[in-house]
Amino acid sequence: MQASGRIAGASIAAATVAAMAHVAWRLNRRRPKGIPTIPGHWLLGNFLEFYESVKTFTHLDILVQWHKMFGDVFVLYIPTMPPIIETIDPRDVKHVLKTRFDNYVKGTEFHDRLHDLLGEGIFNVDGHSWYSQRKTAGRMFTDSKFKNHIWSVVHGNCEKLVNLLKQQEGKGTIDIFNIMNRFTLDTIGEVGFGRTIASLDNAESPLLQSFDRGQQISMRRFLLPFWRLRRFFRLGGESDAHEHFSRLSAYSRETVGLLKAKHEEGDVGDSFVGLFLKAAATKGEHIDDEFLKDLVLNFVIAGRDTTAQALSWCFYLLARHPDAERKLLEEISQVCQNGDLTYDGLEKLKYTQAVVNEALRLYPSVPFDSKEAVGDDVLPSGAVVRKGCMLLYNPYAMGRSEKLWGKDAHQFKPERWLDVAFPSLYTYPVFNAGPRECLGKRLAWVEMKACLVQVLKAVKISLAIPPEGVLCDVQLTIGMSSGLPCHIQSR
């Protein structure tokens, strides 16, 4: 018996050693060359340090610090993931997003972790499926639709938002981040799907919580090993995953059902789903409900989260910089002349646009994005990329790079955008760049400028907590884990 036990133990030990050797061989085969490696644990790599930063919501800042210490390009390791090359070199960004676009894809590491949230939607696929979705969705953002549909929705929801804020005066603190998410959710619902979600009227909407939790769960799948096992057994942060993803899926399916019914009646209106249904009808093709469900969720998340977060960081920064707020108010007075903001007046808001640009430089809605290398390559920075490596470019760290923005890179200075040429999109990739450049950039600019003008004309927003108490959440996009507690005062 003892001999058998020793043999079994030896067999297990040998199998373990062989498995570890195989993993080490695969890792070494894909190991990038020509760039520094972040020092880490012999087995866990950089997991422990990065996980500690996640718990304190400093995960973005630790990457900034590593760039200061190790340069514009480095490699880090997280267990069960391929080597991760992190770059803030604009030449690399252009190479990945444009020059060698076909060699850098979303890939399986990204796709699988986000499939519960995004399915086979435009932000989670590559190749023909991505191209087809993008080509059809681009028809949503024509000049005619902006003037005749989008502006009407944005302006109307801005009025609702202002009325809501005025009602909060004298009622203690209010979470501006929560309200911005409700404002943009209602707006993308009407703009994209002709559906009034009315979350501005209902702060307790369970959808709001599920949008945030769905992102948090998805993000942690990139940081914590063995995510498939944790999902299967519903362990830790995956314990409520099914509930939130099911709620989002049910909302999307309901939206698809409503719009398909309208389509059959010949009245689908201006909506993303309508565009795809019309395109399919023209080609004599059938689109299944699963595809349309993913379509809805992708565009709702894109239209709600990123703009809400950008607006919240704008209000945060303006509350900390009264001189910038004063200049913005002066411009609003000149452009609006004590009247309502018009669609044509948006182009005259030069300083307001500068505020938006500067807020996005410091707090880009997508703070970092990843690609997977289809084949071996060499980046302009000199990094040798092996097939299967992940390539991470980091707009958050790029916005804080003194090499790119000067010694005052960490300062909020809207003036840096006035009377200068707009920088390369590969230096300022806050809306992505190349073939995947954000389709909704113009919508985001319109929505943000309209909101800033209408709100700041009506009320003054001041922070109710110390600025250092406002922290970036651990999400795919740059939310606020603390919310944005503020005081409201009518002007």
Task: List the beta bridge partners of residue 75.
Answer: 37, 85
In this model, does residue 212 exceed pLDDT 90?
A: no
CA 35 to chain centre: 28
Q: Parallel, antiparallel, or unpaired for β 485-490 and 459-463?
A: antiparallel
Least confident of 10-19, 288-297, 344-353, 476-485: 10-19
pLDDT at 134: 94
pLDDT at 281: 83
Mark 29-64 as b/e (b = at least 16 C-beta within 10 Å). Answer: ebebeebeebebeeeebbbebbeebeeebebbbbbb
More confident residue, 163 or 279: 163
pLDDT at 15: 52
The per-residue pLDDT for range 228-239, each reduced to its tens digit, is 999 999 999 899
pLDDT at 357: 98
Q: DSSP secondary structure string, 278-345?
A: HHHHHHT----HHHHHHHHHHHHHHHHHHHHHHHHHHHHHHHH-HHHHHHHHHHHHHHHTTS---TGG
In this model, does residue 17 exceed pLDDT 60?
A: no
Q: DSSP secondary structure string, 5-25?
A: HHHHHHHHHHHHHHHHHHHHH
CB 93 within 8 A of CB 424: no
| C-alpha distance from residue 327 to each of 321, 332, 340, 356, 446 (Å) | 10, 9, 19, 14, 19
Phi, psi of 309, deg, nearest 5: -70, -45
| C-alpha distance from residue 140 to each of 136, 146, 275, 393 (Å) | 8, 9, 8, 28
Q: How confident is the model at residue 176 (pLDDT cuts 50, 70, 90)?
A: very high
CB 74 within 8 A of CB 37: yes
In this model, does residue 24 exceed pLDDT 60?
A: no
Q: How confident is the model at residue 282 (pLDDT cuts 50, 70, 90)?
A: confident
| C-alpha distance from residue 280 to each of 75, 285, 339 (Å) | 44, 5, 44
Query: Per-residue pLDDT averaged across 117-127, rounded?
Result: 95
Q: DSSP secondary structure string, 213-269?
A: HHHHHHHHHHHSS-HHHHHHTT-GGGTTHHHHHHHHHHHHHHHHHHHHHHHHTT---
Distance, CA of 255 to CA of 249 (rounded, Å): 10
Contacts made by residues 57-66, CB under 8 angstroms, sequence distance 24+: 57/471, 57/472, 57/473, 57/474, 57/481, 58/471, 59/223, 59/472, 59/474, 60/367, 60/368, 60/396, 60/397, 60/472, 60/478, 63/368, 63/394, 63/396, 63/397, 64/396, 64/397, 64/400, 66/38
Distance, CA of 67 to CA of 61 (rounded, Å): 10
pLDDT at 338: 83
Distance, CA of 31 to CA of 27 (rounded, Å): 6
CB 474 within 8 A of CB 219: yes
The per-residue pLDDT for range 41-69, each reduced to its tens digit, is 999 999 999 999 999 999 999 999 999 99
In this model, does residue 410 exceed pLDDT 70?
A: yes
| C-alpha distance from residue 473 to each of 58, 118, 217, 481 (Å) | 9, 20, 12, 4
In this model, does residue 400 exceed pLDDT 80?
A: yes
DSSP 147: I
Residues 6 or more apart whose Cβ sits within 8 Å of residue 377: 100, 103, 384, 385
Catalogue all structural domains in the chain, each as residue range(s) with its CATH number: 31-490 (1.10.630.10)
The one-letter code for the residue type at 484 is: L
Q: Which of 172, 165, 197 is closest to 184 using CA atoms? A: 197
In this model, does residue 287 exceed pLDDT 90?
A: no
Average of per-residue pLDDT values in the chain: 91
Distance, CA of 54 to CA of 280 (rounded, Å): 44
The token duo for 81 is 């993931």
Query: Per-residue pLDDT averaged across 65-86, rounded?
Result: 96
Distance, CA of 103 to CA of 466 (rounded, Å): 45
pLDDT at 258: 85
